[in-house]
């Protein structure tokens, strides 16, 4: 057995397991991993979590920053501060997202972020832009947008040194389909987003290998009964996982319900799309070269007023899903932990509470307010303190 200092026993909580909810369950952590606890005495000292939930650590596929720090332009120290900010809100695994920029800058940035991936601070890099539609650019600089030339897509993949995890593309643009195929061949997620594609063009991109819808409903044509656009194609195809920003600003609850009804809990991934202000507060920020004002927790471009990412943290997304949307807790855990872990190819290590996996977990009270966070067996927030 590990040294006593490396042993933690959590008892009494409602634990969400892949097999369902276990009331009054006991979890054993030894070192950085969950164990079956078979050799741990039944009377070993335990943290009493009666009246609480224990769920897997959250996994964020799409996150631009937090704590006042930008993952696109911040220093290493700033990026680490942003990562820690999200850990304090339950996100134990995070993919760092960039925004549209000059290609040389993005390639250089990918090299810097890849070092953090090698250290285990982030789970990889997501490039959102520059290969997106000027018609659906959102908070991206139109002057820096470009068609998805496979050679330039490959440049970003190579710059990530094996840590490029996802690229968001408007696949209807010239080179889009070939770029999707290139990404699929290199094991990088091709995500359809910031797109003006038709239904038929979206189907073509899925057939070419696209597997994710970047923040479904946002930055794409709305559903129309004669020209349905990308939304129904993305919802109906079992090969697609749809990202949802559940902050009450990006989506009406009926839209979220529609996505869960058509895609099912197994094909939804809750994301934050967070920018610098997440966990930091209102004020004026920059998203790439664009100025953003955050007021009452909503981020909008100073020029034009487009929504500019979010200030969301995943504990808020969880609580909203449970209390406003009234989703089953098991479905929320799928969307916020298991599904993104599977997409990243990390489900053997994270995304569920099973022996042998990383001891990444979140403790919530009966109102789904975060009370504790553990990452790799160490308390980030100790539920016994405070």
Secondary structure element (H or E) that encloses residue 96, with its range: strand 91-98
On whether the CB atoms of residues 329 and 322 are closer than 8 A, the answer is yes
On whether the CB atoms of residues 189 and 343 are closer than 8 A, the answer is yes
Looking only at the bridges linking them, the beta strands covering 53-56 and 69-70 are unpaired
Cβ neighbours of residue 123 closer than 8 Å, sequence gap 6 or more: 59, 93, 94, 95, 117, 165, 344, 346
Judge whether 366 counts as a catalytic residue.
no
Distance CA(5)–CA(27), nearest Å, equals 16
In Å, the largest CA–CA distance within the chain is 66
Per residue, what are the HEC states of 136-201? HCCCCCHHHCCCCCHHHHHHHHHHCCCCEEEEEECCCCCCHHHHHHHHHHCCCEEEECCCCCCHHH
Of 193, 135, 127, 181, nearest to 202 by C-alpha is 193
Is-cis flag, bond preceding 130, omega within 30? yes
Distance CA(199)–CA(274), nearest Å, equals 28
Secondary structure element (H or E) that encloses residue 109, with its range: helix 103-118
Query: Two tokens at 123?
Result: 């789970």
Cβ neighbours of residue 106 closer than 8 Å, sequence gap 6 or more: 98, 127, 130, 156, 159
Q: Using alpha carbons, list the distances in angstroms from residue 285 to 58, 68, 280.
A: 26, 8, 11
Query: Two tokens at 45?
Result: 């000292």
Helix or strand or coil: residue 362?
strand
On whether the CB atoms of residues 55 and 361 are closer than 8 A, the answer is yes
Catalytic residue among 273, 276, 325, 360: 273
Catalytic residues: 273
């Amino acid at each position: 057995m590990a040294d006593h200092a490396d042993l933690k026993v959590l008892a009494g909580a409602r634990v969400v397991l892949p097999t369902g909810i276990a009331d009054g369950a006991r979890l054993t952590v030894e070192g950085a991993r969950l164990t079956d606890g078979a050799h741990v005495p039944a009377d070993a000292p335990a943290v009493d979590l009666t009246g609480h939930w224990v769920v897997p650590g959250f996994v964020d596929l799409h996150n631009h920053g937090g704590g006042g720090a930008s993952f696109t332009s911040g220093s290493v120290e700033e990026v680490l501060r942003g990562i820690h900010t999200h850990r304090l809100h339950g996100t134990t695994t995070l993919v760092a997202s960039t925004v549209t920029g000059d290609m040389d800058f993005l390639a250089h940035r990918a090299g810097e972020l890849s070092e953090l991936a090698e250290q285990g601070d982030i789970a990889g890099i997501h490039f959102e832009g520059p290969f997106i539609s000027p018609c659906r650019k959102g908070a991206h600089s139109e002057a820096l947008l470009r068609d998805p030339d496979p050679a330039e897509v490959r440049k970003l993949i190579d710059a990530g040194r094996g840590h490029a995890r996802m690229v968001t593309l408007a696949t209807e643009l010239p080179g889009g389909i070939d770029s999707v195929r290139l990404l699929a061949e290199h094991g990088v997620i091709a995500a359809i987003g910031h797109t003006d594609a038709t239904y038929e063009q979206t189907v073509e991109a899925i057939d070419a290998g696209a597997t994710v819808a970047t923040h479904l409903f946002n930055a794409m044509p709305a559903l129309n009964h004669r020209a349905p656009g990308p939304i129904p194609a993305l919802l109906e195809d079992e090969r697609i996982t749809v990202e949802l920003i559940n902050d009450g600003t990006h989506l009406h609850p009926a839209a979220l319900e529609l996505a869960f009804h058509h895609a099912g809990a197994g094909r939804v991934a809750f994301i934050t799309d967070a920018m610098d202000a997440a966990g930091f507060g209102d004020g004026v920020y920059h998203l790439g070269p664009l100025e953003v004002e955050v007021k009452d927790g909503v981020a909008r471009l100073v020029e034009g007023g487009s929504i500019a990412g979010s200030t969301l943290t995943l504990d808020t997304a969880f609580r909203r899903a449970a209390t406003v949307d009234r989703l089953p807790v098991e479905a929320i855990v799928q969307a916020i932990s298991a599904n993104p872990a599977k997409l990243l190819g990390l489900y053997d290590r994270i995304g569920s509470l099973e022996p042998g996996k990383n001891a990444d977990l979140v403790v919530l009270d009966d109102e789904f307010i975060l009370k504790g966070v553990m990452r790799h067996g160490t308390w980030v927030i100790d539920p016994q303190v405070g």
